[in-house]
Amino acid sequence: MKSLLTSLLLLAASLLSACANAPTASRDDVAELSQALQSLDPSVDPAEARRAAEIAYEHSARLAKEYNVTTSPIIHNTLVNTGVKERGICVHYAEDMQARLNQENFRTLTMLRAIAEPRNEFRIDHSTAVIAPKGADIYGGIVLDPWRYGGRLFWSPTTEDTRYDWEPRMEVLRRKYERRVARGETGI
């Protein structure tokens, strides 16, 4: 049964790959994100905001290409989870986006991580990178989510993203650990 499912997913992926477009960003897209970053706090350096916006868009497209994303994010997740593809689930995008932007050693911006636990039992956790002014938390930043649209960057102030209830990554992980301990599933 698992083999049949994998075969069907591969067929669907190959059929859909012809329809997939490489994610692109215009100068206006970059300028809009740059302006949003600058408006988070007066201390944000405009040159850093511009560089962060450029990298966020460029790196989102690069990751989609590296991950060989040719389908919807959910189908791609299935391909990763069944071992057909190596990377490209949301946590990979979040890790890689955070790592790339951290390479810039921004003075006025910082990279954070957030997780949204599912609102119902049919959904799964979602991870993302958040960029914020130095000293701010995720709620004072902007979600950078290239997974949501298969490599095309989605961004929004964290508190305005109505699709997910974002929380600081470590708070969610701590709560999950406490739940496992309460159920006797420490895994240690």
19 pLDDT above the threshold of 50 = no
Query: Quick one: three-class SS letters along the chain?
Result: CHHHHHHHHHHHHHHHHCCCCCCCCCHHHHHHHHHHHHCCCCCCCHHHHHHHHHHHHHHHHHHHHHCCCCCCHHHHHHHHHCCCCCCCCHHHHHHHHHHHHHCCCCCCEEEEEEEECCCCCCCCCEEEEEEEECCCCHHHCEEEEEEEECCEEEEEEHHHCCCCCCEEHHHHHHHHHHHHHHCCCCCC
Measure the CA–CA gap between 59 and 135, rounded to whole angstroms. 24
What integer pLDDT is reported at residue 113 of this predicted model?
97
The per-residue pLDDT for range 123-151, each reduced to its tens digit, is 789 999 999 999 999 999 999 999 999 99
The per-residue pLDDT for range 46-74, each reduced to its tens digit, is 999 999 999 999 999 999 999 999 999 99
3 pLDDT above the threshold of 60 = no
**Residues 104, 51: contact at Cβ < 8 Å?**
yes
pLDDT band at 5 (very low <50, low <70, confident <90, very high): low
* 77, burial (CB in 10 Å: exposed 0-12, middle 13-18, buried 19+): middle
User: Where are the chain's structural domains?
Assistant: 24-182
Q: How far is CA 59 from CA 14, 54, 144, 151, 152, in A?
A: 24, 8, 11, 9, 10
Average pLDDT over residues 24-30: 88
